[in-house]
Amino acid sequence: MDTVRLGRTDLQVSRICHGTWQFGGDWGAIDEPAAIAAIRHAREHGVTFFDTAQGYGFGTAERLLGHALDGDLRGVVIATKGGLRMDGDDLVRDSSPAWLRQGVESSLRALGTDHIDLYQVHWPDPRTPLAVTAQALQDLVAEGLIRHVGVSNFDTDQLRAFPGVETIQPPYHLFRRDVEADVLPYAADRDLGVLIYGPLAHGLLGGALDEHTTFPGDDWRSHSPDFAGPAYHRNLEAVAELRRYAGCLGITIGQLAVAWVLSHPSVHVAIVGARDPLHLEESLEAAELTLGPDDLAEIDRIMTGTTPLTGPCPEGM
């Protein structure tokens, strides 16, 4: 697979990053042997970039990733995220220096490594000044525990207030395009690495959902308004039309969705979470596809009148 330099960092990474959110418990029961096999399958097929987070099961996903890589990190770039913690039954944001340091140390143990290539603040914390968080991460860089600093789910005002940021991880897919207005241009102007999450719109663009689909109670989509009601059914109509158009191009709707995300000139990497090796291989092939101007115009036409998805936030998980 072709690789790309991640913004102004020195990280050379595959354009498809294997994400591990689905291994943290928010998407239902975890099949650990299958999860480990999926990670190893990704590596065998050219994926060199893996993204995880302390908050994905608070060690569960990171341990699975570390187990799957089994200490062999040659040519592998690992990104993780911190700044979330449990307060009783509530998931809360905490990017204080003390919690970030504890998070980094916990992630290092779970991953089985002595440094993290890219450490990202998972969500902005309104109670901790951004400059304080940024300085805490620079201190961890100076100690050699992390190499590069990124953020996730930040807007442009928050990015401006965060010195030393090198990458941004926003949600971006056909049903969520708000970052096109400001975050992506800001990142391009400052050569920030952009790794987007959710290119398949949390399964909506995967091709397997319909109006009869139900989700288990421990899957966050079971209580999300994005996956129920009239707006969801209208979006499914657009998905059906996208599937037909993808078929005319000789590709799957999932490949169309990933290729569309990667067609944006500001996007370096698409994070794809796959439990099924077949789905992963489809995404890898999508990284090699090129959508022309006519394709992009037709996709825009199909998406006219659809309802944007908001996606989950810590307070809603």
Question: Looking at the annotation, which residues are catalytic?
Answer: 56
The neighbour count for residue 29, using CB atoms within 10 Å, is 8
Structure letter (DSSP) for residue 23: G
The neighbour count for residue 113, using CB atoms within 10 Å, is 17
| Cβ atoms of 314 and 86 closer than 8 Å | no
| Cβ atoms of 112 and 50 closer than 8 Å | no
- The closest of 108, 95, 80 to 21, measured between CA atoms, is 80
Rounded Cα distance between 208 and 314, Å, is 26
The neighbour count for residue 242, using CB atoms within 10 Å, is 22
Residue 216, CB-side half-sphere exposure with 13 Å CA sphere:
8
Tokens in use for 197? 């999450």
Rounded Cα distance between 209 and 134, Å, is 40
Give, for 262, the enclosing helix (H) or strand (E).
Answer: helix 253-262
Under 8 Å CB-to-CB from 46, ≥6 apart: which residues? 1, 14, 284
Residue recorded with tokens 């940021």:
165
The CA-CA-CA angle for residues 167, 263, 184, to 5°, reads: 35
Residue recorded with tokens 């090129």:
290
Determine whether 229 is exposed, middle or buried from the number of CB atoms within 10 Å of its CB (0-12, 13-18, 19+): exposed
Bridge partners, residue 77, by sequence = 49
